[in-house]
Structure 1
Amino acid sequence: MTTTTAAADLKHAITSQMEKSFEEVQSLYHQIHQNPELPFEEHETSKRLAEALEARGFEVTRGVGGTGVVALLHNGNGPTVMLRGDMDALPIKEDTGLAFASTRTAKTPNGSVPLMHACGHDLHSSCVVGAASVMAGLREHWQGSLMLVCQPAEEIFGGAKAMLQDGLYTRFARPDVVLGQHNMPALAGTVGHISGTAMAACTNLAITLHGAGGHGSMPAQAVDPVVIAAHVVTRLQSIVAREVPPDQSVVVTVGKLHAGTQANIIPHSAELEISIRSFDDSLHRQVVDAIKRIVHAECDAGRSPRPPEFHTLNETITLQNDASVVARIRDAHANHFGEANLYDMPRLNGSEDFPFFGNAEAGGFSGENIPYVYWFIGATPEDRWQATPGKDVAEKMRHLEMPHSPYYFPGNPVTLRTGIEALAAGALAYLT
């Protein structure tokens, strides 16, 4: 049998198995989409996913890292491949107009919030279940172990570390390679790849600046934290302009600034929340240190009665796709989808906690780093794509809704099929 014939036979086998369970997986996707849950609150979602994976013959463990699900299928001797899908939602009110749109809300310390799967994590976890169906039906085509991970709390960069700290690699298996994917508003049915640095490191930092409150008519008898905060916000903008090399990309955004209750009261404190993103982990740490240095200096200059307080809300490292794994996965996807349906994915300033699964130091597990690759599946229907201006993927995506929009909907049938087949083809690239 020629290589071309073998590839064609495998493509047919994957597609045939996918179609056998597609309606069931699509129904699961609709259920999860309609019932979103916040990070570490994915109780219904994880139950649905665990039951679906058990029904496909996998050995399933619930409650890993809080609400995470781990499923294993052993099929003889061979490598262990891990497929990861996230499953948490966002506090956004859905405005897609879908028949199965979410109308759910959740109680939080800040009150009730609407919920929506605005990032497509429902799609990702459903694709993992679909890939489980394919791989269970193709056991004669592969050898080794398949490890499926449905991860909570990606949106707050908490779920990957929580699962690792709960013994993901010691209680279950240490994978030889970790594979994952994310939807993007590229053309549905296409798959994008990028080697090396693919996504940014991110730190979200909360800062409290202390003053000495008083009457607005007597500022000399008070210490105004609002003035200190204003100087901090302005001075922070000099970091990128004057401390970051011109060939590097860093973003420093003050997304929250809160102080006081009314015009004639100087408050006791001011609160800021700052987001830092970069594509170099070492430079990232330097920028965070520079922020702290500037905040301390402005507090000293403004006569703050005590030092500022810093709290890291969440953070993650850069996502570094292993070049050799990308090449292997890309070949598998080219054989399955055709070269014309692959695209070069531009580097994203968005962030993920997926790289913790491969980085031993940052992920907190022993031994060497584990190679990983994270690719992207298109989510825009063809008619919308053709009507969108732009010469390439990057240009067209500027005109389309992105994840975290209340209008964003990646779960069309073409994208769901592509995501299932992309995961299965990727796993088989290492298990055959």
Structure 2
Amino acid sequence: MLQADSLLVARNLSLLAYKYEVDMADARTIQEKLFSNPQLYTEWNLYNPTAQKWFDTGKNGQKIVQLQQVFRIAGQRKTSIRLAEEEKRMTQWQYYELARSLKYELHVSFYRYYYLNNAIVNIRSRLDLLKNLIGIYELQYNKGNISLQELTRLKSTYFEINNKVNDTQTELVRLQENLKVLLADDRAIAPRREATDGVVALLPALTLPELLAKSMENRPEIKEAQSIQAQHQLRYSLARKEAIPNLTGGAVYDQNGSYVPNYTGVSVGLQIPLFNRNQGKIRESKIGIAQADVLLQSRRQEITRQVEAAWKIYQLLDAQYKASGTDFEAQLDLLSKGLVSNYSKNNISLLEFTDMFEAYNSSIIEVNQLKADLNKSYEELNYAVGEDLR
């Protein structure tokens, strides 16, 4: 499973594509740290009517050169940088949430494929024995030694179990394709359980309140909502700072157009905040703060319900699995192996054989489905809490 997790991070195309979002957010942070470019203005004489000369820009001509720089005051630049950094953090949390969702999907598909395939492998051997028995009985029927009813009942039993196997194999095909997409691999993927894994995942001794507390600390949706809250607070701060106009400063050179030749001077300018004091953006950002508070509360409420539901489902399935007995599948396997032999020796009747054969082999599928469902409920609880609880 660890190898599959590593391949998911390294190969999954959705994760690789979203990684560019993180890189773009980093680029936006770099951009906000840059200072504004200075502005160069120049004016050149087109025609001097006194000297009757075009482009008279020489020693006795006229030209103006002006250089200006905009200065963001009142901490606007610093606040803009902090806002860009916070947006980058949010993008990182979104990337982490996508990785968690894909990991959950991978684990569920991985273990469901393993257990359902295990059930089919176990049943196939018995179906082969039954198929051989049907072949023998067809020969006996042709010789008139057994009735058509007995042969038909055996075939019906075979087809009924084989249909269940085919339905399960159809699901396995879908699971296999999903695993290929998740791991970006065209080859067939054969999930196998690690030697250190249990038959099903077992939880440590944690209470529901402890799990809820962990979820509030770990879930990236909470971190994302908190980041959105921080962004709106920064936008509000920036909107108030932007109500103070930027300062423009510069230097000017005028060759012959001023009161003295070769005039040089400095310039300072700013807008007078008479009509536009950024009232709309300030109000919008205040509303955004209120919205972010409600969003955070909503996320916490939603996650609480998810943890509670996942906890209850796990407890239900765990109790169901323990009630069936951890060695139930082994017992079914042992009993079903002797069925064909006992029937061929006339130790049991046709009705007993078909009933038990159907029951045993159907139960093998159901037990493995229960194991897959229990592991899925464990992964759902992991996802809801925001960490691996093993």
Q: TM-score range by the shorter chain?
A: under 0.3
Larger strand share, 1 or 2: 1
Relative to the length of structure 1, the TM-score reads 0.24
